[in-house]
A and B are shown apart, each in its own frame.
Chain A
Amino acid sequence: MSAGNEYAVELKGVSFKRGDRAIFNDIDIRLPRGKVTGIMGPSGCGKTTLLRLIGAELKPSQGEVWVNGQNLPQLSRSELFDMRKQMGVLFQSGALFTDLDVFENVAFPLRVHTKLPEEMIRDIVLMKLQAVGLRGAVDLMPDELSGGMKRRVALARAIALDPQILIYDEPFVGQDPIAMGVLVRLIRLLTDALGITSIVVSHDLAETASIADYLYVVGDTQVLGQGTPEELMNSDNPRIRQFMKGTPDGPVPFHFPAANYREDLLGGR
């Protein structure tokens, strides 16, 4: 699809407001095809909002979101649902359907969008589960799985339709080191082997930097910086340095904006 276009996802001049509060102000982000791109930033900077903008769950107040050559805000509701078949999302909690077992969870997108015969669905599901190493768990229910396994099953489901774009929402949160290592390897593997465009939205610096080909640092309604992980590590921008090094006080203040401390204490009586 649109082979000449080297970017799978492009955000052009996107602004987003929630109530009166601006979450993004005129940001530009371009995600190269077939690469792992990390989008990072401190908590509460709107990373998940960004993800929902790309998935068109939210509409930007201004600007354009291009995915595979289509401008999302202009698509109708049904065109959107068609477009989303080319996209897989791995949610933070896995978001497995709790009333279906592992097999049916992975088979779900296939059943909805294809008219494949039952044996073929079975083969595909087992292949996808094999890819994430959980073929043995095929008959379990989601509540019998550990957090890391849930995420891997969800990954198998996300790749069931062979999407061109895979979005990971905070894939490393609350994972033990082994599960984390497994996921990092899987993301890299899937991107390289299948030519998928991966987007990792995360604030886990080390893991994201270790797999991302390119990084965006988002914060304070702006794109603070972008580049390869090495470039960002050596950046002179104080805000990026603070984030990359993890110092408590800097341009991002330790204190939430408040009235003068002394006045607040004395003024109360």
Chain B
Amino acid sequence: MRKQSPLERLRLFGRAGIDVLATLGRSCIFLVRALFGRGTSGNALQLLVKQLYSIGVMSLAIIVVSGVFIGMVLSLQGFSILAKYGSEQAVGQMVALTLLRELGPVVTALLFAGRAGSALTAEIGNMKSTEQLSSLAMIGVDPLKYIVAPRLWAGFISMPLLAMIFSVVGIWGGAMVAVEWLGVYEGSFWANMQSSVSFREDVLNGLIKSLVFAFVVTWIAVFQGYDCEPTSEGISRATTRTVVYASLAVLGLDFILTALMFGDF
């Protein structure tokens, strides 16, 4: 309401910039401490298994279902376009390349941010607001090691696996539609795919993408939870931020990675 002098506005702008930098710095320190700090909890493997379950296994259903449908849709759409040029057999190649290079890693990361990322933020935020994190620290257990680190590792491990499962299921869905429904000859469907998909260029590059996304999404989710204001509104805001930031980061990074990996074609 009150009128602000230009100088005051400049000050607020600077303040906002400093805040952003400070948050970035905090999140980096947070990450390094969580991953490389001195270990205090002996049963690290057991904690990791538990998180792999709640992050990886619990996301499996949504990944598989979305994968099948996306593969089937790709097949349908691709067929209707390719049929105009009389090259329906190339539908296998199209489905496989689209899934491996782009949709597998990206859609998995987006779904992961929505399903596991938001849950991570809410869970850690809730632990913070109910003082469970402080309580751990007071018992002499570093919450970064006990709570944060296993979740980070579980995210790093889960997402690439989920992305590959997504691609496989999607290709299978696409093959079903193309072969059983649209009548593409099965042999040429697979042969075309195999001759055009390269393990190193397509499968491994997709895997690298998904590793990068896993890193970024999990990091954002866990940090937002850890850094949130410990109130109900604070947690809900942090959860929203996780999904928004993680999705934007994934899409932005995807462009950069695609340009680096496939840009010279």
Whether A85 and B140, one on each chain, are in contact in the complex, defined by CB atoms closer than 8 angstroms, is: yes
Contact with A along B229-252 (1 / 0, CB 8 A): 000000000000000000000000
Whether A112 touches B138, Cβ cut-off 8 Å, given contacts A91-B131, A93-B130, A98-B132, is no
Whether B140 and A91, one on each chain, are in contact in the complex, defined by CB atoms closer than 8 angstroms, is: no
Residues of A within 8 A of B61 (CB): none
| Cβ of B66 under 8 Å from chain A | no
How far in angstroms is the closest Cβ of chain A from B119?
13
Whether A108 and B137, one on each chain, are in contact in the complex, defined by CB atoms closer than 8 angstroms, is: no
A78 to B37 CA separation, bound complex (whole angstroms): 10
How far in angstroms is the closest Cβ of chain A from B241?
22
Between A and B, how many residue pairs show CB distances below 8 Å? Answer: 62
| Cβ of A262 under 8 Å from chain B | no
For B, the interface residue count at a CB cutoff of 8 angstroms equals 19
Residues of A within 8 A of B134 (CB): 52, 55, 57, 89, 91, 95
A112 to B138 CA separation, bound complex (whole angstroms): 12
Q: Could you say which of A89, A97, A113 contacts B132, with CB atoms under 8 Å apart?
A: A97
A21 to B41 CA separation, bound complex (whole angstroms): 37
A137 to B41 CA separation, bound complex (whole angstroms): 27
Residues of B within 8 A of A84 (CB): 137-140
Residues of B within 8 A of A98 (CB): 126-127, 130, 132
| Cβ of B23 under 8 Å from chain A | no
Q: Could you say which of A95, A108, A113 contacts B130, with CB atoms under 8 Å apart?
A: A95
| Cβ of A209 under 8 Å from chain B | no
How far in angstroms is the closest Cβ of chain A from B132?
5
Whether A108 and B139, one on each chain, are in contact in the complex, defined by CB atoms closer than 8 angstroms, is: yes
Residues of B within 8 A of A89 (CB): 134-135, 138
Residues of A within 8 A of B142 (CB): 77, 81
How far in angstroms is the closest Cβ of chain A from B32?
13
CB interface residues, B 121-165, toward A, < 8 Å: 126-127, 130-132, 134-142
Interface residues of A (CB under 8 A from B): 52, 55, 57, 77-78, 81-82, 84-85, 87-89, 91-93, 95-98, 108-109, 112-113, 154, 157, 161
Given contacts A95-B130, A97-B132, A112-B139, 19 further A-B contacts (CB under 8 A): A55-B134, A55-B138, A57-B134, A78-B40, A81-B141, A84-B139, A85-B139, A88-B138, A89-B135, A89-B138, A95-B132, A95-B134, A96-B132, A98-B127, A108-B139, A109-B139, A112-B41, A113-B139, A154-B135
Offer 24 A-B interface pairs, CB within 8 angstroms, sorted by A: A55-B137, A55-B138, A57-B134, A77-B142, A78-B38, A81-B40, A81-B141, A82-B140, A84-B137, A84-B138, A91-B131, A91-B134, A92-B131, A93-B131, A95-B130, A95-B132, A95-B134, A98-B132, A109-B139, A112-B41, A112-B139, A112-B140, A112-B141, A113-B139
Interface residues of B (CB under 8 A from A): 37-38, 40-42, 126-127, 130-132, 134-142
